[in-house]
């Protein structure tokens, strides 16, 4: 199957002059897209011909099985991987023709498992987000100080400012890295699996933070995420990939189905409404829980009224 539903989003070529009406007032988001890109590591081709446009001012989640090309696509959008063919455009310009500093003032990237310098404090790490704004004639300013303080406040890390980063918990550390990206002051934020290795509470904390940033500041956020249910709950736009290609994209409520999950993840599932958000919730079935399938193969009883029948044992006399 292939469902490139985009809810008014142009899927192939960059639209000019697009402004999202859902963005924070006064914010005109930048436009980011890939046109027919071919991506490879040396001679190993990961993506052959892919086009996608990131909806400005929205949260986009990229999902798919391992090794499907999710992180490779994100690296290309972030200007970390040069396409072998095609082009990535930022506001209509080839992103590789722009200077590194110009890109860094418009687009921030948080890679998988970033590593901080040993012993660096939270405040010093977050301050590094201001480096793209420095010039030989303009060094650290009051504006930089304000940007760092606002980033610490937004991520609830101000009380951690003097602590070494390597002493923090996983959830605290991830919030600090997001604070650094916020201090960078970019309208586009790309994150590669920002919830990996975090416990459930910290996963929700990070995703709630990203939602706050999108709603309050109109930032365009793109994240690679493994948890399909979290992707459905937190994103406006979903991109589902398999084998280096986009299988479907659009609103989660419009494209997520049992057929899509089977195609992308090779998984039997049931898709039901999330009882909290109302968004699609994928419930995996699995071989050992698909009772009807096992019964069809003669491996067990079929469901009766939604339950497995339990044979009644004949009554026995006490002490028999």
Q: What is the pLDDT of residue 206?
A: 87
State residue 29's pLDDT score. Answer: 66
220's tokens:
């365009």
CA distances from 164 to 123, 176, 178 (A): 9, 11, 16
DSSP class of residue 96 equals G
Cα–Cα dist 205/231, whole Å: 14
Burial class of residue 297, CB neighbours in 10 A (0-12, 13-18, 19+): exposed
In whole angstroms, give the CA distance from residue 49 to residue 120.
Answer: 42
Residues with Cβ within 8 Å of 10's Cβ and at least 6 positions away in sequence, in order, are: 53
**DSSP secondary-structure letter at 300?**
S
Q: What is the pLDDT of residue 303?
A: 47
Per the CB < 8 A criterion, the answer to whether 243 and 266 are in contact is: no
pLDDT value for 61:
98
Cross-strand pairs, 3? 248
274 and 280 Cβ atoms separated by less than 8 Å = yes
Q: Is 93 helix (H, G, I), strand (E, B) or coil?
A: strand
Q: What is the mean pLDDT of each run of 10 residues along the chain (320 residues)?
A: 44 37 52 96 95 96 96 95 96 94 87 86 90 61 85 90 92 88 88 87 89 90 95 97 97 96 95 96 83 51 47 47
3-state secondary structure of 286: coil
Whole-prediction pTM value? 0.78
| Closest of 259, 224, 253 to residue 241, by C-alpha | 224
What's the pLDDT score for residue 90?
A: 95
User: Is the CB of residue 94 less than 8 Å from the CB of residue 35?
Assistant: no
């Amino acid at each position: 199957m292939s469902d490139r539903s985009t809810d008014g989003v142009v899927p192939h070529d960059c639209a000019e002059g697009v402004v999202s009406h859902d963005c924070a007032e006064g914010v005109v988001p930048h436009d980011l897209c890939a046109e027919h890109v071919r991506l490879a590591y040396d001679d190993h081709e990961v993506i052959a011909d892919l086009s996608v446009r990131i909806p400005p001012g929205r949260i986009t989640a990229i999902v798919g099985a391992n090794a499907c090309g999710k992180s490779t696509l994100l690296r290309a959008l972030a200007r970390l991987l040069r396409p072998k063919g095609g082009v990535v455009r930022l506001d209509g310009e080839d992103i590789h023709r722009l200077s590194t500093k110009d890109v860094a003032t418009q687009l921030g990237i948080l890679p998988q498992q970033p590593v901080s310098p040993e012993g660096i404090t939270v405040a010093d790490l977050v301050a590094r987000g201001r480096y793209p704004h420095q010039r030989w004639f303009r060094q650290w300013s009051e504006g930089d100080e304000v940007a760092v303080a606002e980033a610490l406040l937004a991520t609830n890390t101000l009380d951690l400012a003097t602590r070494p980063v390597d002493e923090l918990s996983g959830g605290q550390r991830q919030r600090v890295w997001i604070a650094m990206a916020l201090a960078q002051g970019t309208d586009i934020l790309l994150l590669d699996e920002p919830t990996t290795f975090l416990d459930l509470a910290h996963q929700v904390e990070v995703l709630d933070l990203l939602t706050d940033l999108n709603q309050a500041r109109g930032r365009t956020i793109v994240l690679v995420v493994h948890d399909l249910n979290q992707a459905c709950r937190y994103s406006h736009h979903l991109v589902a990939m398999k084998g280096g290609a986009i299988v479907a994209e659009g609103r989660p409520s419009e494209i997520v189905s049992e057929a899509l999950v089977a195609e992308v993840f090779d998984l039997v599932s049931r898709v039901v409404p999330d009882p909290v958000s109302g968004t699609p919730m994928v419930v995996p079935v699995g071989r050992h829980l698909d009772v009807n399938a096992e019964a069809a193969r003669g491996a067990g009883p079929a469901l009766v009224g939604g339950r497995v029948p339990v044979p009644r044992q004949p009554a026995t006399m006490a002490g028999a």
